[in-house]
Amino acid sequence: MVQIEEMFRYDGRRVVVTGCASGIGADLSRQLVGLGADVFGLDVRLPASPADLAGFHAVDLVDEESIGRAVAAIDGPVDALFNVAGVSSGIGDPLRVVTINFLGTRLLTESLVPLMPPGSAIANVSSLAASEYLANASVTAGLLDTVSMADGVEWCRQNPDALADGGYRLSKEAIILYGMRNVAVLGAKGIRINCTGPGVTDTPILDQLRTAYGQQFLDSFRNPLGRHAEADEQASVLVFLNSAAARHITGQVIWVDGGSVAERVFGDLTDARSIEREQDGRRAGHGRQHD
């Protein structure tokens, strides 16, 4: 029987981490190296400690040729893929946001899947901003139906309303639904795919949001734990999802949000029950008036 601590190890596994130079990706890379993984980092800039990595390859997720060069340099096999790289709507370019967070990430993923043996896994990073992904799925499906980066960019140009709030929510909803849509196809290859939904986390993306919207915007996001997450707290969940300890988990979203989604869902349920009781009371009163 395999010991539980061995299930979390990555000894002998070749893994790819996008966004390895900062934030969650940097903490994730450090954790994986400590667990024995050979980590190949991808980012637009060099990480602070590239010597800790098995390899580093510069990649720009808006550039198909850049993605192709990175994939060729990594070669195979790839036992785990962590798609962490992303930007916020704070950069003020909705099309670029969607291209980096979804279209480029999708192309990289699909380019690496042929290098992934049975038993490998993919972990994508979505966001608390995507918690209404089911309610918005009818729109997001149009983006998912595109088959290339160029097709996706054209869809965005033809559907500006879908990006009107900055493109971030759309891109992060798309990455959740992408995993769910491909769970059977990847499962047939022995590959798992999951997603995390971080709440507000202390990473460089906060600087983008703070600059664009002000500190009061960040302060408005509260959760039952009463604090923002640290990058290492997000990274450890990703480590779990692509480890052997999670080998029967696929197609899931894990909300790493300090309880925000749970609080909202229960609040909505409570509100709905209150409205229902009020309506029942009104109907009962109306019936008595006619007795």
Greatest CA separation for the chain: 84
Measured between alpha carbons, how far is 56 from 18 in angstroms, rounded to an integer?
Answer: 10
Q: What's the chain's length in residues?
A: 291
Cis peptide before 77 (omega within 30 of 0): yes
Measured between alpha carbons, how far is 151 from 122 in angstroms, rounded to an integer?
Answer: 24
Measured between alpha carbons, how far is 33 from 29 in angstroms, rounded to an integer?
Answer: 6
CA atoms within 13 A on the CB side of 94: 15
168 annotated active-site:
yes
Catalytic-role residue among 133, 168, 178, 213: 168
Question: Which residue reads 């609040």 in tokens?
Answer: 267
> 3-state class of 225 per DSSP?
coil
Burial class from Cβ neighbours inside 10 Å (0-12, 13-18, 19+) for residue 163 reads: buried
Q: Looking at the chain, which runs of residues are DSSP E strands?
A: 14-18, 38-43, 55-58, 80-83, 121-125, 192-198, 201-202, 229-230, 253-256
Q: How many CB atoms lie within 10 A of CB 92?
A: 12
Measured between alpha carbons, how far is 179 from 91 in angstroms, rounded to an integer?
Answer: 26
Active site residues: 168
